[in-house]
Amino acid sequence: MRPHRLSSLVDRLFKSRETIARLGATMHIRITDEYHNARVRELELTADFLQKKEEEKEAQREVRAREREEAAVQRELDRQREKLNKELGHYQSALGRLRERGDEAGVAEMEAKLAEIENALQDVESRTANVRAGYVYVISNIGAFGDRMVKIGMTRRLEPLERVYELSGAAVPFRFDVHALIFSKDAVGLETELHRQFASQRVNQVNSRKEFFYATPAEVRDALQRFAGQHLIEFTEEPQALEWRAGRRTGEADVPAAGAGGVAARTT
């Protein structure tokens, strides 16, 4: 039994019942309606159980993936905080020496740099405290999914492209292209709203955790323009798809040119 085979298995059970009735007609042997309906119900319950079991496994995988992502975010924030605190200490020491020397121009420059570092530290602390802040990304993989499918997701990483690089791992044949990066203090809400906007175009209508949609980058950009207060870091409509395009050029180069007496053949 597999959940997707339920209809074919119910049909097979019905045909088996008809065969038994035909072969056993002379001896009045047949499967009763009550027994047949009970077996059909057994198949339905088994399919439902297996489906729910698979959904639980998928949910657990999603939880583990989310925990790994949050751990990566925390490590990144900790590294950034440590780096900024070290820089802060160095610049404070340098500022003290400049003040002792009476270098007013150097003091002003150093104070400006210290202000930048303190602002960066405040940003790190704010990102740590606000679990909803982050980046919403729109990416595509034309070589794997075609030119009318995008993935709309979010990450709390300080460097959001690191998350995209992870998604471009061994599970897909080509790297993802980034079409949009949007920073938002409520990235969770923005992602949810975009998913709602494209709900009817969702590729997987059963599992909402699969964030792929039948849409073009331009359609997502138009949807983003309806939301105020978002910082569109970058937008690119045409995917680079460097690996996929390079592979196509290589494949075309391998195809023999048509001669005077024949037509070039190409297999895919």
Which residue type sits at 14? F
Supply 223's token pair.
């949807």
Q: Over the Cα atoms of the chain, what is R_g?
A: 30
CA 70 to chain centre: 15
Q: Is 143 left (phi over 0), alpha (psi -120 to 50) or beta?
A: alpha
Helices (runs of H) and strands (runs of E) counted in the chain: 8, 5
- CB atoms inside a 10 Å sphere around CB 24: 12
Given a contact cutoff of 8 angstroms between Cβ atoms, the answer to whether 92 and 85 are in contact is: no
C-alpha span between 97 and 106 (Å, rounded): 10
pLDDT at 252: 52
Given a contact cutoff of 8 angstroms between Cβ atoms, the answer to whether 243 and 232 are in contact is: no
- CB atoms inside a 10 Å sphere around CB 130: 13
Q: Is 146 left (phi over 0), alpha (psi -120 to 50) or beta?
A: left
Supply 265's token pair.
């053949």
**Residue in this structure with the two tokens 């048509």, named with its chain if needed:** 258
Estimate the crossing angle of helix 187-197 against helix 217-224, to 10 degrees. Answer: 120
**Residues 177, 180, 184, 186: is their CA dihedral positive or negative?**
negative
Which residue type sits at 122? Q
Beta bridge partner(s), residue 142:
none
> Which residue ranges of the chain lie beneath pLDDT 70?
227-234, 249-268
